[in-house]
Amino acid sequence: MSIQAHRWLMTAVNTPLERAAFHAEPGPGEVVVAIAGCGVCHTDLGYFYDGVRTKQPLPLALGHEISGKVVATGAGAERWMGKAVIVPAVLPCGECDLCSRGLGTICPHQKMPGNDIQGGFATHIVVPGRGLCEVDESRLARAGLTLADVSIVADALTTPYQAVRRAGVKAGSLAVVVGAGGVGGYCVQIANAFGAKVVAIDVDDDKLEAISHHGAALTLNSHALDGRAIKVAITAFAKQSGLAATEWFIFECSGTAAGQLTAYGLLVHGATLSVVGFTMDKIEIRLSNLMAYDARAIGNWGCPPESYPAALDLVLDGKVAIKPFVEALPLDDINRVFTAVHHREIKKRAVLVPA
């Protein structure tokens, strides 16, 4: 079955995206998803404005935070027909040695929409049926959410979920999140849901105020405080809260050089530093601090599809709020929206919705 569709293509760096028609047709094991919403991620802006290279050559539709309904299936994927789904931002092959050992996030055959394959700034997308996350629409309605709202689960929520889970955050932990908007805001909420006391650090007072109502026990503005003062403030907070001065969980979510330097400067004995944000900028650090503090640093690339249902449950059970942090906008306004997000004129996570 072939479906007439259209998508917005990136043809060159910092050049207006172009609307193009195409036929969406699933092959064996594939499905066609009619897109309900696709979130605009910092990674998309990196491709578009900074020239970060995509795996698939241009022209390419960006977008990897996708939700929608399956409207066509290929052979072997029929069970997905008619279901509401979230498309994982990273789709492992599920068959290689790495996938068999639970290492799907580094699968060499993985497919990332808007990078390896055509992405979600479109009316429809063709993706492998393997690994899709089904959305219970009755629970969605009870939670006061739309299918478009939960598109951001595909990356903005599941990536920090994987980082928090993988780091080992538990009740009684102290978690520090650098970059409290977008991915970082969800990282704050998820760490809080795991039982941690959470410190949020950002340069934007509005973001800090917002997240103070959603899991941040302490907020600090890194424009007002230098690295040493931030560490002193967190140490005092830990003591006041009856938390350890060691084994902090530090999550760098800002995707900035300044944020990375701040996060690295917060290492304490036994700390875990999780790098969640991405920047092309380079920083200079003393790597030996990891040795001296007997600390560890972990990179985080996406989230295994099998962990998506548990992450989605946090949203549907009301433990993580997404409605206050998303803004639905028309897909056909994509060029205006990209500009506004790039210039920080849109404070919430923009979700582009096809007409």
Check whether 168 has a pLDDT greater than 90. Answer: yes
CA dihedral 209, 211, 213, 217 (to 10 degrees): -100
Distance in angstroms (rounded) separating the CA atoms of residues 180 and 282: 21
pLDDT in tens, 20-76: 999 999 999 999 999 999 999 989 999 999 999 999 999 999 999 999 999 999 999
pLDDT in tens, 264-312: 999 999 999 999 999 889 999 999 999 999 999 999 999 999 999 999 9
Q: Where are the domains of the chain?
A: 3-155+303-353, 158-299
Distance in angstroms (rounded) separating the CA atoms of residues 277 and 110: 20
The whole-model pTM stands at 0.95
Regarding beta strands 133-134 and 124-128, do their DSSP bridges make them parallel or antiparallel, or are they unpaired? unpaired
Centre a 10 Å sphere on the Cβ of residue 117 and count the other Cβ atoms it contains: 18
The H-or-E segment that residue 45 falls in is: helix 42-50
The H-or-E segment that residue 206 falls in is: helix 205-211
Check whether 1 has a pLDDT greater than 80. Answer: no
Burial state string for 175-197 with b = 16 or more CB within 10 A and e = fewer than 16:
bbbbbbbbbbbbbbbbbbbbebb
pLDDT in tens, 190-236: 999 999 999 999 999 999 999 999 999 999 999 999 999 999 999 99
Check whether 2 has a pLDDT greater than 90. Answer: no
Split at pLDDT 50, 70, 90, the class of 325 is very high
What is the 3-state secondary structure of 305-325? HHHHHHHHHHHHCCCCCCHHH
Q: What is the pLDDT of residue 313?
A: 98
Assign domain 158-299 to a CATH class.
alpha beta
CATH topology classification for 3-155+303-353: Quinone Oxidoreductase; Chain A, domain 1 (3.90.180)
From 169, 150, 155, select the one nearest 251 (Cα to Cα). Answer: 169
Q: What is the pLDDT of residue 197?
A: 98
Distance in angstroms (rounded) separating the CA atoms of residues 306 and 258: 33
Q: How far apart are the first and last CA of the chain?
A: 22
| Average pLDDT of the segment spanning 87-96 | 96
| Average pLDDT of the segment spanning 227-247 | 97
- Proportion of the chain above pLDDT 70, given as a percent: 100
Backbone angles phi, psi at 241, to 5 degrees: -90, 0
| Residue-averaged pLDDT of the chain | 97
DSSP 8-state code for residue 213? T
Split at pLDDT 50, 70, 90, the class of 254 is very high
Distance in angstroms (rounded) separating the CA atoms of residues 217 and 143: 25
Q: What is the pLDDT of residue 296?
A: 98
Split at pLDDT 50, 70, 90, the class of 94 is very high
Q: What is the pLDDT of residue 72?
A: 98
Q: What angle, rounded to 10 degrees, do the helices at 183-193 and 308-316 form?
A: 80
Check whether 347 has a pLDDT greater than 90. Answer: no
Distances (CA, A) of 344 to 11, 106, 185: 23, 32, 16
The H-or-E segment that residue 217 falls in is: strand 216-221
Apex 93 CA angle, 84 and 69, nearest 5: 10
pLDDT in tens, 125-156: 999 999 999 999 999 999 999 999 999 999 99
* Cβ proximity of 303 and 282 under 8 Å: no
Split at pLDDT 50, 70, 90, the class of 14 is very high
